[in-house]
């Protein structure tokens, strides 16, 4: 029965998204695909950005990790809030002033051809890894609890999902995604609220019970720990700055606002929403942990990422199962479909020079469609790689990998904004970025263990600093801005 219900929810949900894609894709053009016409209300964009930021990782991993790590993830969320304010104050006005379609066009203006290509390439790598991990997590849950039992292989499941995402985004692009992501944010929040009420009803929790649960393990105070509070707040600020402010997926939505003030307002309220929703998911994790204890399952042998779906499917009743399924479908698609569109934009603008070439519109549309399809295939390959290579909780895997892939972007943009009179030798830029990644990995996996130090998310700012230093050294060999 549950399997057929799940299938019906999938079909109904995708039919609804397909209808939205059809309506928003009518009379679309290349400009609306990439920029959404720059007429969308800021609060709709803010809600859609919440969906993109949450994803299946937040929906599953964050509640699951509370059972072992308490509320310490709020250290990172506090850092996020700081980073979002920097984006609103500095980066958004810059992007609007330069009238950018791809934010990496700024790197072309500041550093030249190789600067733009290096920045966009690291974005492509970063987002392919991040989106693949998020989508893999959600799909793996459905595989583990339902699809494996009826003989549907993971490869086929992912192919079907990628085909459906391609179908409802290939025409309307960012204009479609702004609306679909807003709906998906509401679906995730619905799943969260319904589950909280179900556990409240099942355990008859009082206000003091909730207060006791959410006081659990907020701060990690040992400096040598990987997630010491000072390191996590600093890293959270840089993660937000890099994974939102220097990320085409997130900024492409903000650039669909009518004007700078609307985009800044969008970012400000988005920061509040993210903090509130992440706290709510941590509260859900505490409730799930309390439920496990109440039912004598506190020592259950189950991956952290499977705790929430296990209870939703097996113990909390059909209403929670339906709400959880809708929320997880929404979480699966919200980041992956956005990435599919923005990867296409970044590649077309930064590598195929759509903003500069004289290619006719019909040919551009054909090329863009092929690029869109190509990235769908590449995401499928990456998801299969996640299946083969990782068994860890994906919230920490994805954020750790971001330290290596977003670090060079952080260094490039910071150098470009702060050191205006110097310009590095152009051909050294990709070399510096790659060396920075290698040195950061060497510090984390070779030097830090020898010093009895556990490296955490501070690898991202470290990577950015190494890139910054390399660009500065290169610029000394070419001190005059040409």
Give pLDDT tens digits for 293-304: 888 876 676 777
Q: Is residue 463 one of the residues assigned to a domain?
A: no
Q: What pLDDT sits at residue 35?
A: 47
Residue 358 to residue 360: CA distance in whole angstroms: 6
Residue 32 pLDDT grade (very low, low, confident, very high; cuts 50, 70, 90): very low
Residue 447 pLDDT grade (very low, low, confident, very high; cuts 50, 70, 90): confident
Q: What pLDDT sits at residue 36?
A: 47
Residue 92 to residue 69: CA distance in whole angstroms: 35
Across 53-81, average pLDDT: 76
8 Å CB contact between 152 and 6: no
Q: Is residue 165 one of the residues assigned to a domain?
A: yes
Ramachandran sector of residue 357 (left: φ over 0; alpha: ψ -120 to 50; beta: rest): beta
Q: Is residue 349 one of the residues assigned to a domain?
A: yes
Domain count, the chain: 1
Q: What percent of the chain has a predicted confidence (pLDDT) above 70?
A: 72
Express each pLDDT in 284-333 by its tens digit. 888 888 888 888 876 676 777 778 888 888 888 888 888 888 777 777 66
Within 10 angstroms of residue 221's Cβ, the number of other Cβ atoms is 8
Q: Is residue 119 one of the residues assigned to a domain?
A: yes
Residue 174 to residue 252: CA distance in whole angstroms: 8
Q: What percent of the chain has a predicted confidence (pLDDT) above 90?
A: 8
Q: Is residue 468 one of the residues assigned to a domain?
A: no
What is the domain extent for residue 331?
Answer: 2-396
8 Å CB contact between 215 and 442: no
CATH number for the domain spanning 354: value is: 1.20.1730.10
pTM, two decimal places: 0.72
Q: Is residue 310 one of the residues assigned to a domain?
A: yes
Residue 146 to residue 119: CA distance in whole angstroms: 40
Across 404-414, average pLDDT: 89
Residue 1 pLDDT grade (very low, low, confident, very high; cuts 50, 70, 90): very low
Pair of tokens at residue 246: 């220097």
Q: Is residue 228 one of the residues assigned to a domain?
A: yes
Q: Is residue 417 one of the residues assigned to a domain?
A: no
- Cα angle 64, 69, 74 (rounded to 5 degrees) comes to 90
């Amino acid at each position: 029965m549950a399997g057929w219900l799940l299938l019906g929810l999938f079909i109904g949900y995708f039919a609804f998204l397909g209808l939205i894609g059809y309506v928003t894709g009518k009379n679309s053009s290349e400009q609306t695909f990439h920029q959404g016409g720059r007429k969308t209300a800021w609060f709709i964009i803010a809600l859609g950005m919440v969906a993109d930021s949450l994803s299946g990782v937040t929906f599953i991993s964050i509640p699951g990790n509370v059972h072992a790590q308490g509320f310490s993830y709020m250290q990172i969320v506090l850092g996020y809030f700081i980073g979002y304010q920097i984006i609103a104050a500095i980066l958004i006005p810059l992007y609007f002033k330069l009238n950018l379609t791809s934010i990496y066009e700024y790197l072309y203006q500041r550093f030249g051809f190789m600067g733009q290509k290096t920045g966009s390439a690291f974005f492509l790598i970063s987002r392919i890894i991040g989106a693949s991990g998020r989508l893999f997590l959600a799909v793996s849950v459905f595989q583990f609890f339902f699809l494996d039992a009826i003989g549907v292989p993971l490869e086929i499941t992912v192919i079907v999902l990628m085909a459906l995402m391609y179908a409802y985004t290939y025409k309307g692009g960012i204009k479609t995604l702004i609306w679909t992501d807003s709906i998906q944010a509401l679906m995730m929040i619905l799943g969260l609220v319904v589950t909280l009420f179900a556990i409240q009803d099942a355990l008859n929790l009082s206000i003091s019970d909730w207060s006791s649960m959410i006081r659990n393990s907020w701060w990690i105070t040992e400096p040598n720990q990987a997630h010491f509070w000072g390191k996590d707040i600093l890293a959270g600020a840089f993660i937000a700055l890099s994974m939102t402010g220097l990320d085409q997926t997130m900024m492409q939505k903000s650039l669909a606002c009518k004007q700078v003030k609307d985009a800044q307002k969008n970012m400000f309220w988005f920061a509040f929403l993210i903090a509130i929703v992440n706290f709510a998911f941590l509260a859900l994790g505490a409730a799930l942990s309390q439920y496990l204890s109440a039912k004598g399952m506190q020592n259950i042998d189950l991956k952290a990422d499977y705790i929430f779906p296990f209870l939703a499917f097996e113990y909390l009743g059909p209403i929670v199962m339906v709400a959880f399924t809708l929320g997880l479908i929404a979480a699966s698609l919200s980041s992956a479909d956005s990435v599919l569109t923005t990867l296409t934009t970044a590649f077309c603008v930064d590598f195929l020079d759509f903003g500069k070439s004289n290619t006719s519109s019909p040919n551009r549309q054909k090329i863009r469609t092929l690029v869109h399809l190509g990235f769908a295939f590449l995401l499928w390959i990456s998801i299969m790689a996640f299946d083969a290579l990782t068994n860890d909780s994906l919230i920490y895997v994805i954020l750790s990998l971001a330290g290596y892939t977003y670090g060079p972007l952080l260094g490039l943009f910071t150098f470009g904004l702060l050191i205006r009179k110097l310009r590095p030798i152009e051909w050294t830029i990709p070399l510096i970025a790659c060396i920075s990644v290698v040195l950061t990995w060497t510090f984390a996996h070779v030097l830090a263990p020898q010093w009895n130090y556990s490296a955490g998310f501070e690898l991202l700012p470290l990577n950015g600093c190494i890139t910054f230093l390399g660009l500065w050294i290169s610029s000394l060999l070419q001190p005059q801005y040409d």
